[in-house]
Chains A and B, each alone.
Chain A
Amino acid sequence: MNTNRIVPISRHTHDESLRDLLKKLNIGMTPPEARKIVSILGRDPHIVELFIFDIEWSEHCSYKSSRSTLKKYLPTDAPNVILGPGEDSGIIRFTDALDGETYSIVIAHESHNHPSQVLPVEGAATGIGGIVRDVDCMGAHVCAVADGLRFGNPAGAQPARTRWIIRGVVDGIWQYGNAMGVPNLAGDVYFDDSFDDNCLVNVVSLGIVKTSRIIRSRVPTEARNEPYDLILAGKPTDSSGFGGVTFASDILDASQDDKRRGAVQVHDPFIKNILIMRKANRAVLDLAFERDIPIGMKDLGGGGLACASSEICSASGFGAEIDLDCVHTSMDDLPPEVIACGETQERFIFAVPRSFTREVLDIYNTVWELPAEANGAGARCIGRVLEEPIYRIRHHGEVVCEAPIEQITSGIRYERADCECRHEGMEPEGLPPDNLADALLSILGSLNGCSRLPIYRHYDTEVQGAAVLRPGEADAGVIAPLELTENCPAGIALSVDGNPNVGAIDPYWGGATAVAEAMRNVVATGAIPRALTDCLNYGNPENPSAFRQFVDGVRGIADAARQLSQLDLPDAPVAVVSGNVSFYNESAQGLAIKPSPIVACVGTMPDFARAMTIHFKNPGNRIILVGERRPELGGSAYYRIVRGVDGTKPLTVKWREERAAMAAVHTLISHGYACACHDISDGGFATALAEMCLSHRRTRLLGAHVVFTQPPIPADQFLFAETGGFILEIPPDHLKECTAILNASGGVWYDCGCVTETPELLIEIAQTARIHLPVQDMRLAWLRGLEEIV
């Protein structure tokens, strides 16, 4: 090794001087962690080794603070789970198709929060770019993306910066997803001051794969019998995204924004389209399956080549030898640590038998002409699989890294301290407002209550031709991904949820209600919830109260996933099959975001034609409210927008009632008894009912008239409590069956009114309250809420 590039850690006996040295080198690890490397290697590390350990031991890669909590609580297995957390994506069984094949759903969920805060377009775009690679590398066809977005307040302390971030993130999402060719089918958005200095950009991707053709992110065991090469395919390596993982594992200091921008990756959906959209990668996999050649494949994400090449080999007990001189780069003289650890986007690594290498290279370099058509992209053989578990990197003929491979990939663990953190909230004072119609209008026109049309109209929802229900049409996006190719009508529903205002009052219920809401949205389309993914967005885990928020959120998610369980398999949890933890979501001033677990739920249905939208269909149909209203308005839109307080009693979930309501609604829809269904969430019953009258497309609007004679709680709370539940539209001739099913469920329900030809919303509660509004007025407020902001 070149001694000039050996980092003399052992020479620094004092933490202070070692900390200075690490800081100067832009290394995020602590002095004790650096010394641990010296003891592992038995010598001081080369700079390349130091960077590799820094990445592998970062919070982002090693989950060092979160792993023991996740392992302790989350249910990750169920009869339909094929692959739980551990590789790039989770996989669950989907359906059998006419061709006799079994198909599976591949799903992954990540955050790209910090990059999106400092460079919104690039940050959000590479978020989408990264998550689709995770799904593609399992051998799947990527057929949907979704995103959970949390922005600062555009009318808050930094309006210009916040709007710049909002527009940039939306632009980044469409510029990437639309160009690559993946429909954007779901998502949710909240605006809140606590995200001013730290927006959240969570991305979810979903794919379909023949179960017999799943590719693993590991070198096949056949590599014991014949030589295997490592092939790097995609964009030429450059210096972009160097230090991205370390950046993601630190707090955000706005004064450092300029410096941090270099750590954000650069997106190229054009190259990605050639790689993954049934083009080059597909050709490699098809050829491998046709000839029965075992291969491994993994995407390059955080930590770049070093991370991906070490993990794909160590996953099955192999070692690797990488020659950095063989890596195609877009600039000369890149330092070896940048080639090894930079996070240039649009790259994959393959482990293939040497006899297959030439053909794989030809697919990228000749058939798809990547070098000429895409600025020097292409595929190169950059190393080989070693039988002995050693990870070695050469550069200019010299060894710049040599370590036991499992030491590199096994990471480190911390048991973090936690302590309780009480939310200081207030219940509203005085009497409820006299005019509840105005209250409803202000919720419908609010940032968090209005139509998301100005956002999702930028997203291509139609590409691939499989969309059944799009954003705005239903509570969850629904696709029929096998209809076109296999004539198989099975549908997939996808929803992304998590109300930060609940988590702010009680982190446990923040997690639990996120799961319940995501599941409810899926059920409202007629699907059965089959799996969850979570992205856990919290503050600094070294701060005991922030760590407690994380632990409580995980407990809430875990309890909900077990208690609500799969509707047709009561003993099977809706397993959490993939996810991500994002810590350090706080500003240098110590302002942490509201605890924000964001949960995605994927559901399945046998016949997409039965999928349910939220819009009223026919005047005269009955309106049914399913689920009791409870006086827990903490964090509700009504308290925050109309009463000006957060409240103290968080929204909760009553497991048995919630599950019974979901089961009954699913039964009703699958029998074809309902013709519209909407779940109750933000803004409560009144808002949900209004939304069923609203559509940006329809010009002929319908109204609703409902009456409650004996509400169990005060009228304002009854109308705006966000207790889970559903509103159904039932044709009169199905009322009898509907009554029987709902009575059998044992829950509370109301046959409360009917759909009207007159486009007016009329809600009457005993003698105490009345809302009477033209639907057109509500529509204007609802459509204008985000005007001038996106």
Chain B
Amino acid sequence: MNQSDPITIAVIQYPGTNCEYETASAVEAAGMSAEIFRWNRHPEELIRFDGYVLAGGFSYQDRVRAGAIAAKKQIIGTLIREAAIGKPVLGICNGAQILIESGLVPGNHPGHVEMSLASNAAAGWRGYFCDWVYLRCQEKGASGAFNLDFTPGEIIPMPVAHAEGRFVSSDPALLDRITQSDQIAFRYCDAEGRYQPSFPINPNGSFLNAAGIYNPEGNVLAFMPHPERAAWMRQIPLDLDGSLRTATLEHCRMPGPGLRFFTSMKRFISNRRTGR
């Protein structure tokens, strides 16, 4: 492949997906081209893309479990094969649930479900939760495709919006392995970066405050918060501690922290092409 070929990303759209448009906009703002790809198109058409984003929403109305039905569709088989040759796959919110339900994350045995994204369990809240939280990037440096453009330990604000975002597994050894092999890309924290387990700092009760988990190879990320909703400064609330947003249009249009998930993705793809 030629280094100068445009990078194209498929944003996967299922019935019930509802974040595909703004996700595609974020992909484009990062300098890649995005195509919204309907789930029932021929799976072979997926192969020509350089990377994939499973956008958020409520695919199949979260029937059975969130992401469970979408993970059984033909398109996922193709994604598993493309991920196996190293292409980056980002699952956001419902997309993360689909990656967990398809076994792409934690990814020891793609196609086999190892974990679950369970109902939020936070003292003081029931049901769906939507608000801004803080995340801290893994402190030892990026272990995968989507946080290359973050400094180790960097703290960023981002919104979460889900009712099932608690990473769990019945196998304690699996959680140990995920931790030890640096598969936790981002963890919920307070504005100072402390990993407080309490609600709402950890909004869903996830183990070790995990907000996003990589596969062992680091090219697939299941991520519960919404980077496409923090992709421009204008989206960041003014009453967040340390909010940098000002009242000028020029500043509002500058990239927000969420955009760096997509610029990292672009860097990862460019690096793959040059063999770095």
Q: Which of A426-483 contact B (CB under 8 A)?
A: 457-470, 473, 480, 483
Determine if A697 and B15 form an interchain contact, defined as CB atoms under 8 angstroms apart: no
Chain B positions 32-60 with a Cβ under 8 Å from a chain A Cβ:
38, 40, 56-58, 60
B128 interfacial by beta-carbon distance below 8 Å:
yes
The answer to whether residues A695 and B161 also contact, given A270-B60, A457-B129, A458-B129 and a CB cut-off of 8 A, is no
Q: Does A609 contact B (CB under 8 A)?
A: yes
Contact of A462 with B16 in the complex, beta carbons under 8 Å: no
Q: Are B239 and A615 in contact (CB under 8 A)?
A: yes
Is B123's CB within 8 Å of the partner chain A? no
A613 and B234 contact, CB distance less than 8 A: no
Question: When the two chains form their complex, are residues B234 and A608 in contact, meaning their CB atoms are under 8 A apart?
Answer: yes
Q: How far is the CA of A544 from the CA of B56 in the complex (A)?
A: 52
Q: Please give me the residue from chain A that is nearest to B200 by CB atom.
A: A457
Q: B145-182 toward A: CB 8 Å interface, digit per residue (1/0)?
A: 00000000000000101000000000000000000000
Known: A609-B249, A698-B241. A483 touches B234 (CB 8 A): yes
Select one of B15, B25, B125, B128 contacting A270, CB under 8 A: B15
Give, as a whole number of angstroms, the nearest-CB distance from B67 to chain A: 14
Q: Is the CB of A269 within 8 A of B58?
A: yes
Closest 3 CB pairs of A and B: A181-B18, A465-B22, A270-B61
Decide if A388 is an interface residue (CB 8 Å cutoff).
no
Indicate if A336 sits at the interface (CB-CB under 8 A). no
Q: Does A373 belong to the interface (CB within 8 Å)?
A: yes
Q: Is the CB–CB distance between A459 and B130 below 8 Å? A: yes
Q: Which chain A positions have C-beta within 8 A of B16?
A: 179, 270, 273-274
The answer to whether B237 touches A269, judged by C-beta atoms less than 8 angstroms apart, is: no
**B68 partner residues in chain A, CB cutoff 8 A:** none
> When each residue 188-200 of chain B gets 1 if its CB lies under 8 Å from chain A and 0 otherwise, what string results?
0001000000000
Given A279-B15, A465-B228; 17 other pairs, CB 8 A cutoff: A174-B127, A174-B128, A178-B58, A179-B18, A181-B58, A268-B61, A369-B15, A462-B130, A462-B159, A462-B226, A462-B229, A465-B19, A465-B25, A465-B229, A473-B238, A484-B21, A697-B131
A227 at the interface (CB under 8 A from B): no
Q: Is the interface of A mostly helix, strand, loop or mixed?
A: loop
**B231 part of interface (Cβ distance < 8 Å):** yes
27 pairs of residues in contact across A and B, judged by CB atoms under 8 Å? A171-B127, A174-B127, A181-B57, A181-B58, A270-B61, A274-B16, A373-B15, A374-B15, A458-B130, A459-B130, A463-B22, A463-B229, A464-B22, A465-B19, A465-B231, A465-B235, A466-B22, A467-B235, A469-B238, A470-B237, A473-B239, A489-B249, A608-B234, A608-B252, A609-B252, A697-B132, A697-B240
Is A269 touching B161 in the complex (CB atoms < 8 A)?
Answer: no
Instruction: Report Cα–Cα, A583/B252, bound state, in Å.
Output: 45
- A175 to B128: give the CA distance in the assembly, Å: 8
Closest residue of chain A to B56 (Cβ to Cβ) is A463
Residues of B within 8 A of A608 (CB): 234, 249, 252
Cα–Cα distance between A109 and B125 once the two chains are bound (Å): 30
Once the chains are docked, how many angstroms separate the CA of A460 from the CA of B56?
12
In the complex, A369 Cα to B60 Cα: how many Å?
13
Does B81 sit within 8 A of A, measured CB to CB? Answer: no
**Are A480 and B21 in contact, CB atoms less than 8 angstroms apart?**
no
Chain A, 60-95, contact with B by CB distance < 8 Å: what is the 0/1 string? 000000000000000000000000000000000000
List A277-316 residues whose CB lies under 8 Å from chain B.
277-279
Please judge, given known A-B contacts A458-B130, A461-B130, A462-B229, whether A273 and B234 are in contact too, CB under 8 Å.
no
Q: Do B247 and A609 touch (CB < 8 A)?
A: yes
A174→B248 CA distance, assembly (Å) = 33
| B-side contacts of A461, CB under 8 Å | 130
A712 at the interface (CB under 8 A from B): no
Contact residues of B between 247 and 270, Cβ < 8 Å to A: 247-249, 251-252
Chain A interface residue count, Cβ-Cβ cutoff 8 angstroms: 53
Q: Cβ of B159: which chain A residues have Cβ within 8 Å of it?
A: 462
Of all chain A residues, the one with the shortest Cβ separation from B238 is: A613
CA distance A462 to B130 in the complex (A): 8
A699 at the interface (CB under 8 A from B): yes
Contact A368 B15 (CB under 8 A): yes
Show the binding face of A for B, using Cβ within 8 Å.
Answer: 171, 174-175, 178-181, 268-270, 273-274, 277-279, 367-369, 373-374, 457-470, 473, 480, 483-485, 489, 607-610, 613, 615, 672, 675, 695, 697-700
Dominant SS among interface residues on chain B: mixed
Q: Which residues of A contact B249 (CB under 8 A)?
A: 489, 607-609
- CA of A460 to CA of B16, assembled, Å: 15
* Cβ 8 A contact of B21, one of A175, A462, A464, A470: A464
- B15 and A699 within 8 A (CB): no
Chain B residues whose CB sits within 8 angstroms of the CB of A485 once the complex forms: 25
Instruction: Report if A278-B21 is in contact (Cβ < 8 Å); known contacts: A369-B40, A697-B239, A698-B239.
Output: yes
- Chain B residues, CB < 8 A from A368: 15
Q: Which of B's residues lie within 8 Å of A, judged by CB?
A: 15-19, 21-22, 25-26, 38, 40, 56-58, 60-62, 125, 127-132, 159, 161, 191, 226, 228-229, 231, 234-235, 237-241, 247-249, 251-252
In the bound assembly, the distance between CA atoms of A368 and B229 in angstroms comes to 27
The CA of A501 and the CA of B106, in the complex, are separated in Å by 56
Report the minimum CB–CB distance from B47 to chain A (whole Å). 22
Known contacts A181-B19, A473-B237, A609-B251; A270 and B231 CB within 8 A of each other:
no
A468 partner residues in chain B, CB cutoff 8 A: 234
Residue pair B161, A462 in contact (C-beta under 8 Å) = yes
Q: Which residue of A lies closest to B41 (CB)?
A: A367
Q: How far is A212 from B29 in the complex, measured between Cα atoms in Å?
A: 28
How near does chain A come to B148, taking the closest CB pair, in angstroms?
23
Q: In the complex, A489→B247 CA distance in Å?
A: 12
Cβ A615 vs Cβ B58 within 8 A: no
Residues in A with CB closer than 8 Å to B132 are 697
Q: Which of A181, A270, A675, A697 contacts B237 (CB 8 A)?
A: A697
Residues A463 and B19 in contact in the complex (CB < 8 Å), given A609-B249, A609-B251: yes
Closest to A611 in B: B247
CA distance A481 to B57 in the complex (A): 19
Which residues on the A side are within 8 Å of B241 (C-beta)? 697-700
Within the assembled complex, what's the spacing in Å between the Cα atoms of A720 and B17? Answer: 47
Q: Could you say which residues of chain A place their CB within 8 Å of the CB of B21?
A: 278, 464, 484
Most A CB within 10 A of own CB, among B15, B191, B226: B15
CB distance from A367 to the nearest CB of B (A): 8
- Among residues of A, the one whose C-beta sits closest to the C-beta of B36 is A278
User: A197 vs B90: C-alpha distance in the bound complex, in angstroms?
Assistant: 49
Q: How far is the CA of A329 from the CA of B237 in the complex (A)?
A: 46
Contacts of A459 in B (CB 8 A): 130
| A463 to B251 alpha-carbon distance, docked (Å) | 22
Contact A463 B247, CB 8 Å, known A269-B58, A458-B129, A700-B241: no
For the complex, what is the distance from the CA of A234 to the CA of B217, rounded to whole Å? 43
Which A residues are CB-close (under 8 A) to B248? 609
Residues of A within 8 A of B128 (CB): 174-175, 178, 458, 460
Q: How far is the CB of A503 from chain B (nearest CB, A)?
A: 32
Q: Closest chain B residue to A366 by CB distance?
A: B40
With A463-B161, A615-B239 given, is the CB distance from A457 to B231 under 8 Å?
Answer: no
What residues on A are CB-neighbors of B58 within 8 Å? 178-179, 181, 269-270, 273
Q: How far is the CB of A757 from chain B (nearest CB, A)?
A: 15
Which of chain B's residues has its CB closest to A171's CB? B127
For residue A610, which residues in chain B have a CB less than 8 angstroms away from its CB?
A: 247
A367 to B61, CA, bound (A): 19
List the A side residues contacting B251 at CB < 8 Å.
609
One of A178, A268, A270 near B161 (C-beta < 8 A) = A178
Chain A residues with CB under 8 Å of B131's CB are 457, 697
Q: Please, which residues of chain B bring their CB within 8 A of the CB of A270?
A: 15-16, 58, 60-61
Residues of B near A483 (CB, < 8 A) are 234
Most chain A CB neighbours (cut-off 10 Å) among B159, B248, B252: B252
Question: Given A178-B161, A269-B61, A277–B127 Cβ distance below 8 Å?
Answer: no
The reply to whether B25 and A613 contact each other, CB–CB distance below 8 Å, is: no
Residues of A within 8 A of B127 (CB): 171, 174, 458
Contact A277 to B161, CB < 8 A, known contacts A181-B57, A609-B249, A699-B241: no
Among residues of A, the one whose C-beta sits closest to the C-beta of B125 is A457
